[in-house]
Structure 1
Amino acid sequence: MIEATLCFPRRDVDGTEEVLLIEKRRGLGEGWYNGPGGKLEAGETPRECAVRETREEVGLEIDPADLEKAAELDFRLDGERHTLCHVFRTRTFAGEPRPSPEARPEWVAVEAVPYDRMWEDDRLWLPAVLAGETVAGEFRFVGGEPLDEADFADHALERGVSFADER
């Protein structure tokens, strides 16, 4: 099982809420949009991973204490647990996003998130996360590896989940 993170930096520009998305340039989900993130390294906490991955992929500096846990997503492939993803959001960061070999960053109005260019499950949980809610979800895919070529089969989603003990 893979343990991973996603981070969604947010900002307000002239009254328009924006979220920083990346277009993946390689690896799982290449060509699709999502938040910066990736796999946990040995001995790393999810919060530390989100900070590191955001710095590596788009150059933003984030204090781990400024991350708010927004979701925990359990991805299943052919009945087996494939990935556990910890999702964070923040409005506090330093620097300007810059592209990397992994990702092309883009500020997008929350109302214009390109769900048609994202994982099929994102449209189920990301609107709630961007609206300030917390969610826990299980998403089932079938069809074998790789996950981004498997078919989305089913899901369960719970809103208003408490992650207070993980702050």
Structure 2
Amino acid sequence: MTQQTDQERPGIAAAVIVQDGCVLMVHRRVAEGELSWQFPAGKIKQGESPEQAAVRETEEEIGLTVGALKLLAGRVHPMTGRRMFYVACEAVSGTATVAAPDEVAELAWVRRREITEYVPYGLFEPVQKYLDVALPGTAD
């Protein structure tokens, strides 16, 4: 049996969903190191774009139908070593709820000033820059 290298493992797509002055975060049942609160995310399937994966994973994990707005950025995550893609999304229909309780313990709509309480090590710079614009006037 051969080990997959990081380049061969499927990438992960994360949906950055902003609504009503908040960004959606999910609390994982199983943390990856320090990562317990994060954006809805999951593996990109073969033949799928990061945008398609972010939309699909959001529906599967939290029952919210979203539309992809744009790919914000990609990187190899410094804590997990996984290829990550961050996709700005907008809510289209439904209500965010825990739809995959085996993966997600809870969710929260987080104001900009509260992000560091959920992600104390800070957000990836392109994601933070997007939220600085998408969540105007909510820093205090």
| Global fold match (TM > 0.5) | yes
CA RMSD of aligned residues (A): 2.6
One-letter amino acid of the counterpart of residue 17, structure 2: P
Distance 1:28 1:45, change over 3 A: same
Shift of 1:31: 6.8
For structure 1, which runs of at least 5 residues remain unmatched after alignment? Answer: 134-167
Higher relative contact order (CA 8 A, sep 6+): 2
For 1:1-167, what aligned pairs fall within 5 Å after superposition?
1=6, 2=9, 3-12=11-20, 17-26=21-30, 28=32, 32-63=36-67, 66-75=68-77, 82-99=81-98, 100-101=100-101, 102-103=103-104, 104-113=106-115, 115-118=116-119, 120=121, 122-125=122-125, 126-132=127-133
- Quote the Cα distance in structure 1 between the aligned partners of 2:83 and 2:24: 22
Distance 1:116 1:57, change over 3 A: same
State TM-score, norm by structure 2: 0.73
Shift of 1:4: 0.9
One-letter amino acid of the counterpart of residue 123, structure 1: L
Distance 1:39 1:108, change over 3 A: same
CA shift digits 1:123-158 (9 cap, x unpaired): 35242231249xxxxxxxxxxxxxxxxxxxxxxxxx
State TM-score, norm by structure 1: 0.62
For structure 2, which runs of at least 5 residues remain unmatched after alignment? Answer: 1-5, 135-140
- The answer as to whether partners of 1:23 and 1:30 remain within 8 angstroms in 2 is no
- The answer as to whether partners of 2:30 and 2:36 remain within 8 angstroms in 1 is no
Q: Equivalent residue for 1:149?
A: none
Shift of 1:118: 2.9
One-letter amino acid of the counterpart of residue 128, structure 2: P
Count of matched residue pairs: 122
